[in-house]
Amino acid sequence: MSGDGFHVHGPHDHELEHAAQHEPEGFAGRLAMATAVIATVGALFSYQGGATQANAGLFKNNAAIKKTEASNQWNYYQAKSSKQNLAELAVELAPDSRKAFYVEEVKRYKTEKAEIMVVAKKFEDESTDWDKRSDEQIHQHHRWAQATTALQIAIAMAAIALLTKSRGLQYGVYAMSAIGTVLGGLAFFHI
């Protein structure tokens, strides 16, 4: 190129400009474009797989917290049972002037235990619900992982197909990509 406004092309400049202005053509171009799309979809599937795995862990943690809360309530229930048993024993051993007090104590403990049992069962149900949600997320995570793996295999097959210029492997890339996409669809729809 000169400074006086003249533009001089080198022998390969025209071909480079032409190649830059057109889409890739032929076997290598189509396979390269397919590989880029497969890699992008695979990255999205991988992200979803990681997110569902993290959710499964979080949900399992919530289940454990609720199970602990239920256990605490059952321990509280047991403590009230022990006090009720002592009050029942006191009814038998106490002088008549104190028996009415201990009878009321037994009634109070029975009422308190019933309330505690409701709370404990509620925590157990919540724990079961979190466990179920965790299991669902793990299942979905496995689907995302299967989809990602299929797409990674398709990318590896694409590299081999480019090196060997094998049409059979090219069709294998498309087939494996379709399998990965179907698996991703199953994950998306929680199947």
Number of helices (H), then strands (E), in the chain:
4, 0
> b vs e for 119-143, b when ≥16 Cβ sit within 10 Å of the residue's Cβ?
bbeebbebbeebbebbeebbebbeb
Establish if 74 belongs to a structural domain: yes
Establish if 9 belongs to a structural domain: no
Establish if 12 belongs to a structural domain: no
Domain that holds residue 82: 25-188
Phi, psi of 6 (to 5 degrees): -85, 140
Establish if 20 belongs to a structural domain: no
Amino acid found at 190: H
**Cα-based distances in Å from 139 to 54, 60, 136, 142, 145:** 13, 13, 5, 5, 10
By C-alpha distance, which of 153, 152, 141 is closest to 47?
141
Establish if 17 belongs to a structural domain: no
Establish if 174 belongs to a structural domain: yes
Establish if 7 belongs to a structural domain: no
Domain count, the chain: 1
Establish if 168 belongs to a structural domain: yes
pLDDT computed for residue 26 by the predictor: 86
CA trace torsion 102, 105, 107, 109 (10° rounding)? -140
C-alpha to C-alpha distance for 143 and 6, rounded to whole angstroms: 61
Angle between helices 96-164 and 26-93 (to 10 degrees): 170
pLDDT computed for residue 17 by the predictor: 60
pLDDT computed for residue 9 by the predictor: 61
pLDDT computed for residue 14 by the predictor: 58
Residue that has been written with the tokens 């396979």 in this structure: 31
What residues have CB less than 8 Å from 147, skipping those under 6 apart?
45, 49, 180, 181, 183, 184, 186, 187
Q: What is the pLDDT along the chain (191 residues), one digit of tens a residue?
A: 455 666 666 655 555 565 555 555 788 999 999 999 999 999 999 999 999 999 999 999 999 999 999 999 999 999 999 999 999 999 999 999 999 999 999 999 999 999 999 999 999 999 999 999 999 999 999 999 999 999 999 999 999 999 999 999 999 999 999 999 999 999 999 99
Give, as one character, the DSSP assignment of residue 5: S
pLDDT computed for residue 88 by the predictor: 96
Phi, psi of 5 (to 5 degrees): 95, 0
